[in-house]
Amino acid sequence: MYRAPRGTSDILPREQAYWRYIEQKVVNACQLYGYERIDAPAFEDTKLFSRSVGEDTDIVEKQMYTFEDRGGNKITLRPEGTAPVCRAYLEHGLHNLPQPVKLYYIASIFRYERPQAGRYRQHYQFGFEAIGDDDPALDAEVIDMAWQFFQSLNLRHLSLQLNSIGCKKCRPGYLAILKDYYASHTRDLCSDCKTRLKRNPLRLLDCKKPQCQQIANSAPRSIDYLCPQCDEHFNRVKRYLELLDLPFAVNHRLVRGLDYYTRTVFEIQPEVEGAQTTLGGGGRYDDLIEELGGKPTPALGFAAGIERIILNLKKQNVPIPPLPRPQVFIAHIGDKARDEAIKLAAALRKNGIGVIEAIGNKSLKAQLRQANTLGAHHTVIIGEQEVKTGTVILRDMTTAQQRTIPIVQLQEELR
């Protein structure tokens, strides 16, 4: 027996209502804030990701699905959604449009991870990207959009964490101070952090190991070492968030796992802490477009994982609207009735009424049972007698009441 590959899953019909619910809320938010959809390919040139996400990140070091295709090209299945959007922005000259350009995507993401609840090898993310302006009002707008999106899902008990990690001018100074601090604690760090210290010291701050967390809590804070421009930027972001009444908390250990982030970073988390809990996060990536060969173009974005949102919707018992189903089931007894049923189903569908037709030669009882299971509101029953008299029996599946009506009146009745 074949099984879905480890870390992947099938999204069965019974799960689809969650997916449509979330997608609908994403689309609503994007309409409210003026974001347009973009769909990039599922794979890209490997260099796009190694250059943008960063050679020393977990994603590039250990998690990318990279292979050589038959033409000898080095290809990677997208491990995140921002770099492809920036690539498309440059490739299609979107910098010629009025800025900022606001785009959103819903896409599958591939990362070779150790699978566990909330962490998979293929998952889905949606993301918002606002490209072409460094105004802190844009940071506040993206953060507000992410926050309001979660409110619209009816998820509760979320927290909004915020930090600024500076820019290429002020960050090197901070990193030197951070390294100095950690140099006197190396003995107590986990083995991962010992390696990170040399290559990616910011990541020490968000290590989840208890022994490292203590050390990280007392580490120097990036916001104390911002250059005047970054400091002013961060203060304005906070002020706008206050204007918007968003309940944010500054968390100096929030750094995000990708190298392209600058200045503002933020995450939305459920209140219960745990390793795989972050619902979504984002931040500024003011140097990324330039890194990819464009003119200096400040930008920021946000992305969230759909599977994790569903886990939380279930945990909080949030009611999800059911998906629309065909309204009518047609049951029939005998060959002549079946002919009539085939014609009737076609006529109803042509007029926009959803129909499920009984298939095969089941007993009436079995057909009614099936109609019940499928959740049809009404069943139309056709037997020999009805064919002869040009009528049908219309059964209300909730009350089990039936009446015989002329077939020509059926559509009117169903409406």
Note whether 300 and 138 are within 8 A (CB).
Answer: yes
* Exposed / middle / buried, residue 327 (Cβ in 10 Å: 0-12, 13-18, 19+): middle
Site for ligand AMP in 57-86 (CB under 6 A): 80
| 139, 145, 151, 154 alpha-carbon torsion, rounded to 10° | -140
Nearer to ligand AMP, 262 or 367 (CB): 262
| Residues in binding contact with ligand AMP, number by CB under 6 A | 18
Nearer to ligand AMP, 49 or 329 (CB): 49
Nearer to ligand AMP, 128 or 225 (CB): 128
Strand partners, 280: 268, 304
d(CA 298, CA 136): 11
Contacts of 85 (CB under 8 A, 6+ apart): 38, 40, 103, 105, 127, 129, 131, 301
Which one of residues 49, 104, 120, 150 is an interface residue with ligand AMP (CB under 6 A)? 120
d(CA 44, CA 40): 9
Nearer to ligand AMP, 170 or 303 (CB): 303
Cis peptide before 100 (omega within 30 of 0): yes
Task: Kindly write down the DSSP assignment for every residue of 252-265, as one continuous string.
Answer: TT---S-TT-EEEE
367 binds ligand AMP (CB under 6 A): no
Note whether 74 and 50 are within 8 A (CB).
Answer: no
Q: Per-residue x/- marks for ligand AMP, 209-248, CB under 6 A?
A: ----------------------------------------
Q: Per-residue x/- marks for ligand AMP, 293-332, CB under 6 A?
A: ----------xxx-xx------------------------
- Rounded to the nearest whole angstrom, what is the least distance from the CB of residue 160 to ligand AMP in the complex? 13
- Rounded to the nearest whole angstrom, what is the least distance from the CB of residue 211 to ligand AMP in the complex? 24
What secondary structure letter does DSSP report for 166?
-
- Rounded to the nearest whole angstrom, what is the least distance from the CB of residue 21 to ligand AMP in the complex? 16
d(CA 97, CA 73): 32
d(CA 246, CA 190): 36
Q: Per-residue x/- marks for ligand AMP, 248-287, CB under 6 A?
A: ---------x--------------------xxxx------
51 binds ligand AMP (CB under 6 A): no
Which one of residues 78, 87, 111, 238 is an interface residue with ligand AMP (CB under 6 A)? 111
Pull the structure tokens for residue 50.
């190694």
Residues that bind ligand AMP (CB under 6 A): 80, 111, 113, 118-120, 123, 125, 257, 278-281, 303-305, 307-308
